[in-house]
Amino acid sequence: MSGRAGRPFAPAARVAEAPVAPVAAGATTGPDAGRLRGRVFLFLQGAATPFHRRLAMALEEAGARVVKINICGGDAVFWRRPAIAFRGRFQAWRGFCAGILDTEGITDLVLFGDCRPHHAVAVDLARRRGIGLHLFEEGYLRPGWVTREVWGVNGHSDLPRTPVGFLALARTIDPPPAAPPVPSHFLHRAVWDVLWTVGLIALMPMFPHYRHHALDHPLVEYAGWLGRFARAPRVRREARRVMGRLAGEAGRYYLHPLQLDTDFQIRTHSRYGDTLAAAREVVASFARHADPGSRLVVKLHPLDFRPGRKRRQVEALAAEHGVAARVDFLDGGDLQLLVDGARGVVVVNSTVGLFALERGKPVKALGTAVFDLSGLTFQGALDRFWVDGAPPQPELLDAFRRVVVARTQIPGGFFSGPGLDLAVTGARRRIIDGDVQPLAQQDAAWAATKVGEAV
């Protein structure tokens, strides 16, 4: 199957990659056998982990048929099963994907995130055909959870948009269980990411038109990480020094955790071109309106590979607004201790905001976030937050957590063996039981704002 622009869709040859791996841990041939017979699952891109392959095998054990489209060489590394290769230009993707959905009789679509260009098109096509969606992401609640949504992820989620909606739904839901302890190994994440990139580069001749969804080429990112590793001892010492000083200033500083410029939470679900634009607004507002005796801690995202540049940019912003002596840039440090000692937290839409709410802290969200609700986050202008920010309402926070866990969260993780075991088992259970239906389909007006011809 070529999928080249200008050529009509035609049945494709499968790409033989490697023998099928053993059945995923947690898969069963017992009570679930045959429960998914007649359903056909199309898998697109996953995260750089074995999660998608293992979930596919678990679904097959329950009687489903699985179809996979590889869009780049990195996809093949973790799939290691027969797949269809899309080798065309992006302009040909809509017709190609529509052809697969129709000729293969697809009933369910499985992918990671919904903002990658190929995924956005596929989700739109699937909705128009009434195809079930299984959209995975890292957990809204962390650690110990992964996200599975049935309409959209993050800002595209069909979770209620009002406190009343959450409170009404929560009355029908039992209190959520505590998240099990799930390790997330950075080494696994790093090695798997490198393997994905090796596949991307090695198989580039097979996928000549693929353009990575990230802003930077992976090799540029790896070069940045080599520099981070070289400076790690000095960075840890500096982080300990700053954390030690902040420990004596609990309740007198605000926290602004940076996100990643490449994150679709910034690119799609906010009005900022990058994290520096958000930091510029936060620093300027802090300088004008925060208590002169307070401080602002700007924390680097742990996966940002350009710490030096971000530090210089933030320090320049602080100097420009006359608050250089009151702004700390922190690379590293203990997030829980930072949040516990903070007077308030300003995020774009980072899950740190939800973590801070669960610790009872005032939070201001500047972008689109599932937790940005009256009664949880501060709804006024940022300039007023420094004075008027208030803790979340406990009843609403409890309702929010009940609904989010019941509808979207699965125990587990993507970057460790135990985490994958839990995530595969939980995802299979949710899919087989089918106990979560899209709320968006019950609200035609809301759904109309989310489905359009933009993709």
For the stretch 60-69, pLDDT in tens is 999 999 999 9
According to the model, what pLDDT value does residue 447 have? 42
According to the model, what pLDDT value does residue 17 have? 34
The CA distance from 357 to 364, in Å, is 10
According to the model, what pLDDT value does residue 27 have? 43
According to the model, what pLDDT value does residue 294 have? 97
- pLDDT-wise least confident of 242-256, 275-289, 428-442: 428-442
Give me the mean pLDDT over the 266-284 stretch: 96
For the stretch 183-228, pLDDT in tens is 877 888 888 988 998 898 899 999 999 988 765 767 766 666 666 6
What's the pTM value of the predicted model, to 2 decimals? 0.86
For the stretch 37-56, pLDDT in tens is 999 999 999 999 999 999 99
Indicate the average pLDDT of the chain.
88
pLDDT of 162 strictly over 90:
yes
pLDDT of 7 strictly over 80:
no
pLDDT of 332 strictly over 60:
yes
How many other C-beta atoms are found inside a 10 Å radius of the C-beta of residue 314?
Answer: 25
